[in-house]
A and B are shown apart, each in its own frame.
Chain A
Amino acid sequence: MSQVETGDKTQIATAPRSRVVRPTGAAWILVIIVVLYAAVLLGGPLLAIIWGAASSGLKAMVRELTSAEAINALKLTIILSLSATIINTVFGLILALVLARDDFKGKRIVNGLIDLPFAVSPVIAGFMLMLLFGRQGWFTATIDALNVRVVFALPGMLLATIFISSPFVVREVLPVLRHLGEDQEKVAYTMGAGYWRTFRQITLSNIRWGLLYGILLTFSRALGEFGAVLVVGGGVTRLTETSTLFIYRALDDRNEVGAYAMALILAIISFSLLLVMEYARKHSRKD
């Protein structure tokens, strides 16, 4: 108690907001509980999969990951994730701008709708698409006439990926836009700058960290998607098998090395994105 008081008195003048101190006595117990919990919950499984992947040797892992199916699966995952990210970034920015700057009836509804994909289980998302484009779906006759395949094919999986990763950019950019207001842009306009130039040089640069964080979240989410693409795509090898579906099938093939190796690859990609995200997050909070 006295230690806290002393620490107290010396720091009051320097850091009126959250003080960070070294833990003492009872505090150490709390720290240990927290660290143990994190270690068991997060660390254990993580180590287990690294061990599982590595236990059959690096050579076996590399062999599995360079097989035609694995490469196809990774290619498909990256194409889907990048495309969905680009599309969601463009439209997410548009929606964020509209919501931050415009006033219109039904704005609250629009807001709620944007958050909808968070509330939807991936299987339900896939199911919705099946209702639209599957047997006796709303648009099945139309796409059949156009000779386009949607379900059990790439377009369907792209739609599913877009749907489940759509809210992130809006959510991250909107508060920043709101916080900033339009003053800087207005100044630019009165000085004669055009809309595009203002957008690029002022708006975009102001929201860059939030935007980056949103883009990374979108990509990461798209990368790991499983339930929706399973329902819509069916995991047909060389056609609709993403990396996650490859893992799912590898387990059934008794190909544990392949499954764990691919899982590890996805985890590494995601973890690297995570580190970049952390960096972006710190900056976006500071701005």
Chain B
Amino acid sequence: MPASSPAIRPWGRWGLRVVGIVWLGLIIVLPLSALLEHGLHDGVSALFREIANPIAFAALKLTLLTAVVMAVINTVMGTLTAYVLVRYRFFGSKLLNSLIDLPFAIPTLVTGIMLVVLYGPQRTLGAWLAARGIQVIFAQPGIVLALLFVTYPFVIRTVQPVLMEIDQSQEEAAWTLGASPWRTFFEITLPAITPAILTGALLSFARALGEFGSIVIVAGNIPRSTLTAPVYIFGQIESQNQRGAGAISVVLLALSFALMLFVDWVQERRGKNHVSG
């Protein structure tokens, strides 16, 4: 405990801690315990049985698959976007920078609606794509598109600050020694920003696992092709299959939480001062 200051009575500091912990307990630990108790009520084997339910399993698989596809695309495009925004100045770059956070501000339901308005089968764009055999809405591409929208800022915003802080003397040295810009990027810049890219990718992946509002509008609820885990959980809640809902919720939560803890750990290892992603 830091040296006590004359103006702070010991119980003042201690009181604050108690309030904080009680609040945390009420608002987070309590609901979490209810979920864990419910999901693990009949033992871990019962949990695995619920997951083994073909439709639940298919939903989990689809969630993971779409999240992976999205994470890969997001990593590449996010890193590229961050690089372009940090290193280059061009007409509209300031505007683009402000728009990056847009997905944080738009409700996920509205995201889903926007996608249906743009790519729905009756719309010109949707019909054009359908004529070429590409179905977006009520199909997997639509899910990935929704996830890409919602997680757009994640990689960009984790990579940007790191890129800005990089001391470019190493890169410049490489250039003066004759290395091509590509080689410089891959051998010097990229290693420096890899932890940030990883953090952003993992965060967007964790975020995608739980995405609901946009998917429920854009996807079709058919197992194995368009039913994701959160939508499955929602269906289970509505048809009062509490066991099924509880089991899959626990699995999904454990997965996302593990990812977040991993991200925290990665950041701490790189010596960053803040403790959260």
Contact = CB atoms under 8 A, between A and B. Distances in A.
B135 to A, nearest CB: 17
Q: Secondary structure of the A side of the interface?
A: helix
A119 interface: yes
Q: Secondary structure of the B side of the interface?
A: helix
A219 to B, nearest CB: 10
A160 to B, nearest CB: 10
A113 B28 contact: yes
A267 B237 contact: no
B155 to A, nearest CB: 12
Nearest to A188: B7
Interface residues of A, number: 113
B106 interface: yes
A185 to B, nearest CB: 8
A287 to B, nearest CB: 14
Contacts of A51: 117
Interface residues of B, number: 103
Contacts of B2: 101, 103, 182
B168 interface: yes
29 contacts: A4-B181, A5-B175, A5-B176, A16-B169, A18-B166, A21-B87, A22-B90, A23-B84, A31-B90, A41-B148, A42-B152, A45-B117, A46-B102, A112-B261, A113-B32, A119-B206, A121-B212, A123-B212, A128-B32, A132-B34, A138-B34, A170-B276, A174-B274, A178-B273, A224-B106, A224-B107, A226-B108, A231-B234, A251-B113
Interface of B: 1-2, 5-8, 12-13, 16-17, 19-21, 23-24, 27-32, 34-35, 38, 77, 80-81, 83-90, 92, 96, 98-99, 101-111, 113-115, 117-118, 123, 145, 148-149, 152, 161, 163-169, 172, 175-176, 180-181, 206-207, 209-213, 216, 229-230, 233-234, 237, 242, 245-246, 249, 252-253, 256-257, 259-261, 264, 273-277
